[in-house]
Amino acid sequence: MTHQLVLGLGGCVDFEIAWDSGVLEDLARQYRIGIAELDVAVPIRDERSLVCSILAFVHKGSGGERFIETSQLAIDFADRFAVRTSLGGTCVRAAMAIAKLGVPSLVHLVSIDDNVRRLLPPQVDYLCSASADSLDPHLIVQYPAGAVVRLDDGEVRSEHPNRIIYVNDPPNRDLVLSPELPAALTDVRAFLPAGFNVMRDPALLRQRLGLLQAAMRRLPPQAVVFYEDAGFHDDALRAIVSREFSGRIDVHSLNEDELQTYLGRAIDLLDVAEVKLALADFYHRFSIAPTVVVHTKYWALAFGKQPSRYADGLTGGAELAGVRYRNGDDFTVADLEEVRALPPHPGGLRFAEAITAELGDSVYCVPSKLIETASPTTIGLGDTFVGGFLAALLS
């Protein structure tokens, strides 16, 4: 069977914990954690350092992805909370989101178990490089706006909702490619390579990049290759991808957290001058494609060569991410139509108009929808954006 849309390179099982300030306060008290110890870059070797990391992200008001010493640490920590088991990985979440729209796809997996077989919808076919079942769950911590965790010497308070991902996933770290992948690419209209961020061995990363680029030579000339960047566990490997992953990449996509990580500075997402400078810096220093896509909570834009080519993709991605934010995993097509009917975010709309006036034909920007909900979903919004973007390109 041939597929128009192939999504890779690795999925996973997620343990999504329900936010509980009380549990975190008890752990902070037990481990005698103070404000001065909160650090988003702390190595996560045990439960104490994991709690320090979580509280640091909440205190900073940001999201991200971090490596942890063992996957058992994630399992044991999740046992302290109410947990929802779901499927993750950019390729799988994107595929599952667009399956709700009736858009089929093929995903490339590097691990599998009964959770994957049970939760993957029938509209999603898969090929898998794993020779045996395994479970190394990704720990997903989603915190709401207004969350407060009291410490002995102060308190941590969040202004906006966000999510943090903690990972030790050997199959995704090795990212073995299926020998069936080259043949799967021969008739596609769009291909998503993603997932290098979990790898930790530079030599192995270079080998995988070489194998992938050889497989991509089987792509039809008209196929769109959409590379979704992510939070690298080792920035040295991010640099390898930036230098060595080239050839057939049409779009280099990332969210606001990743953009700021690349540039090493905070960016006011509604300040046109700051974003204009950030786009130019990223494009000339780090981009591996002629077009850069940045998706944020206020807007999504394409910058570079022929950005208007991706107008439908930007709209489709922003709308699908919006319905996930509003309705979670269980959204319906009717829910999506409701989101489409909502007014644009006022700040996002002003920004879109201003940056278009500033940059002209080198940018195409769409505002996010104005969505108000007491229980937003912040997990997987970027993955869902990718799915909506690619589904809109196919249509």
Domain co-membership, 155 together with 272: no
User: Which residue in this structure is represented by tokens 């190394």?
Assistant: 136
Q: Domain ends where: 167, 185, 208?
A: 167
Domain co-membership, 54 together with 155: yes
Domain co-membership, 326 together with 363: yes
* Among 165, 109, 114, residue whose Cα is nearest residue 135: 114
Collect all residues with Cβ–Cβ distance below 8 Å to 353 and sequence separation of at least 6: none
Domain co-membership, 129 together with 140: no
Collect all residues with Cβ–Cβ distance below 8 Å to 363 and sequence separation of at least 6: 279, 301, 302, 303, 307, 355, 356
Domain co-membership, 254 together with 230: yes
Q: Where are the alpha helices (DSSP H) in the chain?
A: 21-30, 47-60, 71-78, 90-99, 114-119, 170-174, 181-184, 202-216, 235-244, 256-263, 272-285, 311-327, 333-341, 346-359, 381-394
Residue 86: phi and psi, rounded to 5, are: -140, 175
Q: Is 147 left (phi over 0), alpha (psi -120 to 50) or beta?
A: beta
Collect all residues with Cβ–Cβ distance below 8 Å to 102 and sequence separation of at least 6: 123
Number of domains in the chain: 2
Distance CA 7, CA 211 (A): 16
* Among 134, 80, 127, 84, residue whose Cα is nearest residue 108: 127
pLDDT at 395: 85
pLDDT at 1: 61
- Number of CB atoms found within 10 A of residue 260's CB: 17
pLDDT at 235: 85
Domain co-membership, 181 together with 65: no
Domain co-membership, 257 together with 145: no
- The residue type of 256 is E
User: Which residue in this structure is represented by tokens 């998503």?
Assistant: 192
User: Which residue in this structure is represented by tokens 């993955």?
Assistant: 383
Domain co-membership, 282 together with 376: yes
Residue 346: phi and psi, rounded to 5, are: -55, -45
Checking 29-36 for CB contacts under 8 A at 24+ apart, the result is 29/151, 29/152, 32/152, 33/151, 34/151, 34/152, 34/153, 34/154, 35/59, 35/151, 35/153, 35/154, 35/156, 36/153
> Taking CA 84 as the corner, what is the angle to CA 232 and CA 94, rounded to the nearest 5 degrees?
50
CATH code of the domain containing 307: 3.40.1190.20
- Cα distance between the two ends of the chain: 20
**Residues of the chain scoring pLDDT < 70:** 1
Distance CA 309, CA 313 (A): 9
CATH code of the domain containing 151: 3.30.1110.20
Domain co-membership, 220 together with 284: yes
What are the structure tokens assigned to 167, written together? Answer: 């990972």
Instruction: Give me the domain span that covers residue 234.
Output: 5-12+89-134+170-394
Contact 139, 166 (CB under 8 A): yes
Distance CA 180, CA 183 (A): 6
- pLDDT of 356-388, one tens digit each? 999 999 999 999 999 999 889 988 999 999 999
pTM for the complete prediction?
0.89
Distance CA 173, CA 306 (A): 35
pLDDT at 66: 93
Domain co-membership, 148 together with 249: no
Domain co-membership, 232 together with 159: no
Distance CA 254, CA 233 (A): 15
Domain co-membership, 179 together with 64: no
Whether the upstream peptide bond of residue 9 has omega within 30° of 0, thus cis, is yes
Q: Is 175 left (phi over 0), alpha (psi -120 to 50) or beta?
A: left
